[in-house]
Amino acid sequence: MLRTMSAALLTILAATGTAGAAQTFRTDYSITLMGIPVGKASFTSVIGEDDFRIDGSLASAGMARLFDSTQGTTSVSGRLSETGMAPRSYDLNYRSDKKTQRTAIRFSDGNVTATENVPPSRPRQGDWVHLQENHLTSVVDPISSTVLRAASPADVCNRTIRIYDGEMRADLRLAPAGASGGQVTCTARFEPVAGYRPSRSALKYLRDRARITIAFAPLADTGFYAPVDASIGTQVGTVRIVAQTMRTQ
């Protein structure tokens, strides 16, 4: 579950720059729970004419550090596609107190070719929904899933994103919720597909009751849109993730 939550946060946090000649962008984010600072993140993105690379870090902050000291890094690289980003490799490393976890995923043409978790995921029993081969086709990692390509603002939210984080497969169904100040806001519905336990209360809440909104901003005139503000309802309160600064390096 910790890997899933870390990947979920990184999913919302990743932002990128423009296409064309290679450019480098750095974005800093704040993370709050019910208005209280609990985390911070930074991402550096290099976007070329046909390919991309994103490197990011996430750490607990404020009062959250008193209960759980978490640090994580992630990197993803691949090519630009018609709908956004098509990853080739994705890596996530995080430490929470004394627990460490590493996840590496490799892709080819949108399909998962290899997954490595260190330490390995333990055998799952009971009501666990196991992954099948067809679950790992036409998918993206949590980071690549956040950068969308659209012909117009009206097309940003009309899609379903198929995400794989190394253990769980989930769909994020976006629907239009309005536009203001150059931003496009989508509502999002989280639907776990496989690699999860249906009886887990936190996932049941995200699937059945959570209110999720994500605001995307256009990246100049590239046709790419990146998230700048996200709100996620959880059992313990609303998580808010906001881009504080975005600058060219």
Give tens-digit pLDDT for 25-77: 788 999 999 999 999 999 888 878 889 999 999 998 876 665 677 899 999 99
Q: How far apart are the C-alpha atoms of 116 and 102, rounded to whole Å?
A: 8
Q: Which domain does 87 fall in, by range? A: 2-248
Question: What tokens does 82 get?
Answer: 């018609």
Residue 175 has pLDDT above 60, yes or no: yes
Residue 222 has pLDDT above 80, yes or no: no
Question: What tokens does 104 get?
Answer: 């590496």
Q: How far apart are the C-alpha atoms of 25 and 147, rounded to whole Å?
A: 14
Total count of domains within the chain: 1
Quickly state the pLDDT bin for 21 (edges 50, 70, 90).
Answer: low
Question: What tokens does 247 get?
Answer: 């600058």
pTM > 0.85: yes
Quickly state the pLDDT bin for 15 (edges 50, 70, 90).
Answer: very low
Nearest to 5 by CA among 89, 96, 85, 134: 96
Q: How far apart are the C-alpha atoms of 194 and 171, rounded to whole Å?
A: 10
Q: What is the CATH number of the domain that holds 202?
A: 2.40.360
Q: Distance between terminal CA atoms of the chain?
A: 35
Q: Whats the size of the chain, residue-wise? A: 249
Q: What is the pLDDT of residue 249?
A: 67
107: number of Cβ within 10 Å? 22
Quickly state the pLDDT bin for 95 (edges 50, 70, 90).
Answer: very high
